[in-house]
Amino acid sequence: MIALYNTIFLEPTFNALIALYNLVGDVGVAIVVLTVIVRLIIFPVTLKSIKSQKALQELQPKLASLKEKYKNDRQGLAKATMELYKQEKVNPASSCLPLLIQLPIFIALYQAMTIGLKNGGMELLYGFVSKPESIDAIAFGILDLAAASLPLAFLAGISQFWQSKMLSFHKPPVKTQGSKDEAMLGMMNKQMLYVMPAMTVVIGASLPGGVILYWLVTNILTVVQQYVFLRPRAK
């Protein structure tokens, strides 16, 4: 299993990072370009996820009506909800796909950065990728991406917050009075709006700056995608 993971994720990520570093000569620029490439590769899945999130938001009034109608019938509510999803062609699980896809890439990048910035792991290089004499961990002339970076961690947390906040901006108003469970879920969602960015800062402050740079650029690209595909269209 580990060998399969290395073949599918670690080796391609490491080789792409080194190849880009050989090309541009700056590890920070290489990570930014690698992030853009990854986002382009998974763009179809990401677009599907954003459309699914938008569709779920637009369904909230109907879902609230169903909860009111079947407030004493959990089985009937579950059946009616599934029928509504089927009728509207919405798959709630599809919004999680980009995160599931990015997770092994994120882990692979963490490993690639840890190995590469210590000038190791050159045995993982493909035959057509040139081996650099050494990798300079200083990016953009100021940032040491081999070490933890609190400023990058804060920026990643801010971008994480803005990414989540954008989704709440586009939630349609629900006039139907919800149940206690719905109120509790809303409270949890509001808490997560602040908890996830805080966790990003705390965890990011202990990771190599290169990994957080990847996460920051990913969040910024996601914000741009959400702005383009979630903004109201003029009729």
Average pLDDT over the chain, rounded to an integer: 80
Round to whole Å and give the CA distance between 197 and 73: 37
Lowest mean pLDDT among 48-52, 76-80, 150-154, 223-227: 48-52
Residue linked to tokens 């903004």: 231
pLDDT at 28: 92
- As given in the structure block, the two tokens for residue 204 are 């990011």
Total Cβ atoms within 10 A of residue 169: 9
The greatest distance separating any two alpha carbons of the chain, rounded to the nearest whole angstrom, comes to: 69
Lowest mean pLDDT among 155-164, 169-178, 187-196, 214-223: 169-178
Percentage of residues of the chain with pLDDT beyond 70: 83
Q: Per-domain residue ranges for the chain?
A: 2-230
Round to whole Å and give the CA distance between 157 and 219: 9
pLDDT higher than 50, residue 158: yes
Of 192 and 19, which is predicted with more confidence?
19
Report CA 79 to chain centroid distance, whole Å. 31
The predicted model gives 132-158 an average pLDDT of 90
Q: How many CA atoms lie within 13 A of 156 on its CB side?
A: 28
Q: Output the pTM of the full model.
A: 0.77
Round to whole Å and give the CA distance between 17 and 208: 15
